[in-house]
Amino acid sequence: MAAAGSTGHDRRAESLLAFWAEAGVDAMLLDAPVDRIAAGRTVPPRPAARPAAPAAKPAAGASPSPDVAARVEDARRLAAAAADIPALAAAIAGFDGCPLKFEGAARQSVFCRGSVDAPLFVIGEGPGAEEDVQGQPFVGRAGKLLDRMLAAAGLSERVFITNTVFWRPPGNRTPVLAEQQVCAPFLERAIELISPRFLLLVGGASAKSMLRREEGILSLRGRWFEWRPADGAREIPALPTLHPAFLLRQPAAKKRAWSDLLTLAERLDRPERPA
């Protein structure tokens, strides 16, 4: 019960204080009251200028720097001289223009496996530790899952498998654009030699590099695109899909990757239109 002589304002103040105490408030922010109405009449000081934003990240497919451009030209010269896949593999093994050869790879270059007359050309991101040991792409846990999926879709004997880079990135990190640009002439020459009907782009780094797009793989997957080499001489239908390493971490996403493979297998089996 309120003390004798207390006013209605006193009782409301006591009630409000009791409410805040029950809510856990046990201290005031300021020792003295602030007249917010008067403060609102004062023009606040102009905020200090913000520091300049960092330079934007180069978009996928951006022009390489002069140093990278020189390495790309060297790779293009070596790739053009390779008359077949074994010669191209030798050219890659002897190429010193990609920093990954000296930063991440412990043993050797990792180029390809599969059929040289395959109608389906599979492009991953980059080799990992097991690939570095064996010298072939997609032979670790993720590769075994990819093989099982390809087999279930009836594609095992109809694929040629490689990556956007041919040496293991340090710590199995995602390859960066400059590394992919340096390796691109070898990859384009492999596509030219195999002459596949379709490309399967496995993982975000592969899809963004090959298609020169910025969207993430969850946006790109399951959609058909047209891939073109640097000289624009031809077009090949390309289908991005989820990387099996991602599927090992997110098993619920397997149904989406499986749907992509079924779509590709169905299109692969359609009769080719006459030229």
pLDDT in tens, 147-206: 999 999 999 999 999 999 999 999 999 999 999 999 999 999 999 999 999 999 999 999
Average pLDDT in the 101-129 region?
A: 94
Whether 182 maps to a domain, the answer reads yes
Q: Which two tokens stand for residue 223?
A: 């959609």
Query: 74 falls in which pLDDT band (50, 70, 90)?
Result: very high
pLDDT in tens, 148-164: 999 999 999 999 999 99
pLDDT of residue 14: 66
pLDDT of residue 105: 82
Average pLDDT in the 79-93 region?
A: 98
Sign of the Cα pseudo-torsion (244, 247, 248, 251, in order): negative
Whether 200 maps to a domain, the answer reads yes
Q: State how far the alpha carbon of 145 is from the alpha carbons of 64, 90, 141, in Å.
A: 34, 28, 6
Domain count, the chain: 1
pLDDT of residue 58: 47
Q: Indicate whether 12 pLDDT > 70.
A: no
Cβ neighbour number for residue 244 with a 10 Å cutoff: 24
Whether 92 maps to a domain, the answer reads yes
pLDDT of residue 106: 81
Whether 181 maps to a domain, the answer reads yes
Whether 5 maps to a domain, the answer reads no
Whether 47 maps to a domain, the answer reads no
Whether 41 maps to a domain, the answer reads no
pLDDT in tens, 51-61: 544 444 445 55
The side-by-side arrangement of strands in the sheet containing 120-124 is 113-114, 159-163, 120-124, 198-202, 236-241, 225-227
Tell me which of 54-63, 147-156, 208-217, 255-264 is least confident. 54-63
C-alpha to C-alpha distance for 87 and 177, rounded to whole angstroms = 25
Average pLDDT in the 85-92 region?
A: 98
Q: Indicate whether 16 pLDDT > 70.
A: no
Helix 177-194 × helix 204-211 angle, to 10°: 70
Q: Where are the alpha helices (DSSP H) in the chain?
A: 8-22, 36-40, 66-80, 85-94, 100-103, 129-134, 141-152, 177-194, 204-211, 217-220, 244-249, 254-268
pTM of the predicted model as reported, rounded to 2 decimal places: 0.76
Q: What is the overall mean pLDDT for the chain?
A: 86
Tokens 């239109």 locate to: 273
Q: Which domain holds residue 122?
A: 66-268
C-alpha to C-alpha distance for 82 and 95, rounded to whole angstroms = 13
C-alpha to C-alpha distance for 222 and 104, rounded to whole angstroms = 32
Whether 152 maps to a domain, the answer reads yes
- Residue 61 neighbours by CB under 8 Å, 6+ apart: 209, 212, 213
Residue 144: closest CA among 86, 152, 158, 263:
152
CATH code: domain of residue 240 = 3.40.470.10
Residue with the larger pLDDT of the pair 250 and 24: 250
